[in-house]
Amino acid sequence: MPADRIAMRPWLRWLPTGMPVHRALVTDLMWLHRNMPTVSQVKTFDLRELSAARSGCPRRISWAVTFLRAYALASVEFPSLRRTYMSWPWPHFYEHPEAVGNLVVSRRIGDESWLFFAPIAGAEKFSLDRQQGLLERYQTGPVEEVFKNQVRLAHYPHFIRRLLWWLRFNFSHRKRIKRLGTFALTTVAGQGVVILDPRAPVTSTLTYGPLNDAGQCDVTVTYDHRVMDGKEVAEILCATERIMQTRIVREFHELSQRHQPQIKAA
């Protein structure tokens, strides 16, 4: 449903139960998360060199994409990041062949701010530049196109939404990954704020705070304890920091070199 039509019809903003429609999806995801035993761990990352390389790159790459890329690369070394606990028809793990990062994106429809979930598949395979392009489409493209299914789902009656989510969550591992990802990434670091306990119905959720003057920031991973233990998550945090300090720095330098000829030509 087009965003302008939603804004023009106030009665569409509220569900029959009185729940504002723009909060329906978040409420559903918290409902899916309710029985998930999650634990959080934090590590301070030293990103001085990466911050300098990013600042010197002519192509703007957001920190969200930078962290997404590094965490997806860590999932190659740590398959647990691509595993999902499935409870039906019996408890078992499903391991997806690639990382699917689900970025939380805030968009406005009419007078309301909505949270949408933007999946980026194969982040370990594709360049920072390509992933930034996907994120920009999610951030600026017509809401009724880029988040068509999520807007439509939010307007379904409560019991239909919960039934659809339950089916996706339990019956098909591939549909579950397609809708929710293998991991989630959410942050409000741009506002100078740290999320202490990020929650999403996925195996792990990554968040990070603002960089301080020394080029450091706190990075948090909240994880499903049925799938991973604290020791492995500590290793994952160390590996992600190492990847950002080495490979991602090189990728920024390479990206800068590719864009320099374009700047000179202009």
The pLDDT tens digits for 50-85 are 999 999 999 999 999 999 999 999 999 999 999 999
Domain locations in the chain as residue ranges = 3-257
CA quadruple 74, 79, 80, 81: dihedral sign: positive
pLDDT at 261: 62
**CATH architecture observed for domain 3-257:** 2-Layer Sandwich (3.30)
- 3 in helix, strand or coil? helix
Q: Is the pLDDT assigned to residue 14 strictly greater than 90? A: no
| pLDDT for res 48 | 98
Euclidean distance between CA atoms 65 and 77, whole angstroms: 19
The DSSP output letter for 14 is B
Alpha-carbon gap, residue 114 to 129, rounded angstroms: 26
Q: Judge contact between 107 and 101, C-beta under 8 A.
A: no
- 135 near 212, Cβ under 8 Å? no
How high is the pLDDT of residue 259? 81
Element of type H or E holding 104: strand 100-109
